[in-house]
Chain A
Amino acid sequence: MTGGGGEAVLFWVLAPLMVLAALSLLFARKAVHAAIAVMFVMVDLAILYIAQEASFLGVVQVVVYTGAVMMLFLFVLMLVGVDASDSLVETIRGQRWIGVLLGLGLGVVLVGVVSQAAFPPAVGLELANAATNPVALARVLFADYVFAMEVVGVLLITAAVSALVLTHRRRLTPKVGQREQAEAKVAALPSGGRLTPLAAPGVYAQNNAMDTPALDAHGRPIEESVSRVLRIRGQERSAGTILAAERDVLVEHEPQRALPALRAQDANERTVQAATAEHPEGEAPAGDVSGPDDPGRSRVPGGTPGATEAGED
């Protein structure tokens, strides 16, 4: 009983690939590579099942093995840590050579027995599969093996429950809920705790970054709105520089809209005020960026007509 030359080609293409992929189980350094190789072997096995007139098993192989079992393996690999590699220390002396010997011996014995055995001429499954393969399978499964089928159902439920029980983690500390968190915050108030969440970093017209402080209702920068790490590293920017830079851009591109602001600044002799008034150290760079001649320089190439000039004059 042969499936013709096509099946032989399929077999001789798939079989060496399967053996190679299976060997990577022995030699792969990383468990993920081994898992991918085993998935390849299992898909190939499904193809061979279908070629061997077991189409139902072929589909079940893909669904159960590659779809469920190997995905479970990959999940556990992620859980355990992808780079959990083998230890190369031998705990039993000479175990490697004994293992190689036993594996080779088993292979030789099995292959020898199988290839020497005289099998009866193959019958093929045309007759048995007359009413399609799944129907034929179901007739045997639910007639001769109905008790085994039910026992297998019990086994599956037991396995599911046991997996839940085995991976269940008992709570060792009391649960921290909303109420407990609130009480802890109130209790920490006298020692400098705070009830409200920290303010988010500032959002400006042209700047929205972690290192810029937000402004409070009075226009003062809020120190805590910048990440503590950045503050310790000294990487935070002052609000004054940002406001000054934005003012310059505004003056350059839309002098009409910048006019009221400029008037206010002219009144204050073009120094950056409002936001940075209380922070002289933040004002120093702001003064550098937009010194007395800076706005004027940006206004002249802007080619603005009378309005701004008049404002300046």
Chain B
Amino acid sequence: MELTHYLVLAAILFAIGAATVLLRRNAIIVFMGVELMLNATNLAFVTFARMHGDVTGQVLAFFVMVVAAAEVVVGLAIIVSIFRTRRSASVDDVNLLKS
């Protein structure tokens, strides 16, 4: 089967993740959209590694996973602390810096 199919799937998943980030208001769902985008790039990395016969692509996907895990920890901690002070998980309510 064509490896291009995997890349098309990755592109579709990335677009869905991007649309989620643009459209949803709940900060947690927005965050899941970011995760979906990272996963889509990982799929592309793995596919390219197979295409070129080089595991470096898989190593990069591994690094993406680790950085994503760190990002999730910090991001969710920020969401929790904002929720504690503002009683809301909506991205629209975080407007403290607005003049």
Q: Give the B-binding residues of A (Cβ under 8 A).
A: 1-3, 5, 7-8, 11, 15, 18-19, 22-23, 25-26, 28, 31, 34-35, 38, 41-42, 45, 48-49, 52-54, 56-57, 60-61, 64-65, 68-69, 72-73, 76-77, 79-81, 84-87, 89, 91, 95-96, 98-100, 102-104, 106-107, 110-111, 113-115, 119-120, 122-125, 127-129, 133, 136-137, 140-141, 144-145, 148, 152, 155-156, 158-160, 162-163, 166-167, 169
Contacts and interface: CB of A to CB of B under 8 A. Distances in A.
B39 A1 contact: no
15 contacts: A7-B1, A48-B6, A64-B69, A80-B83, A85-B26, A86-B90, A91-B92, A99-B19, A111-B12, A128-B55, A152-B63, A152-B67, A159-B71, A162-B73, A163-B73
Contacts of B65: 57, 60-61, 64-65
A102 B18 contact: yes
B79 A76 contact: yes
A1 B51 CA distance: 8
Main secondary structure of the interface of B (DSSP, over half): helix
Contact of A104 (B15, B59, B70): B15
A69 B24 contact: no
A56 B58 contact: yes
Contacts of B52: 120, 123
B35 to A, nearest CB: 7
Contacts of A49: 43, 46
Interface residues of B, number: 72
Given A19-B9, A80-B28, A145-B59, A72 B76 contact: yes
Contacts of A68: 69
A23 B68 CA distance: 21
Interface in B64-86: 65-74, 76-81, 83-84
A68 B73 CA distance: 10
A57 B92 contact: no
Interface string B15-41: 111111011111011011101100100
A107 B59 contact: no
B44 to A, nearest CB: 8
A156 B73 CA distance: 9
B46 A52 contact: yes
B3 A141 contact: no
Contacts of A45: 39, 42-43
Nearest to B57: A54
Given A80-B79, A99-B23, A125-B49, 19 more contacts: A18-B13, A26-B20, A26-B24, A31-B26, A41-B39, A65-B39, A69-B68, A69-B69, A73-B28, A86-B25, A91-B92, A103-B16, A106-B14, A107-B12, A114-B7, A114-B10, A123-B53, A127-B53, A140-B59
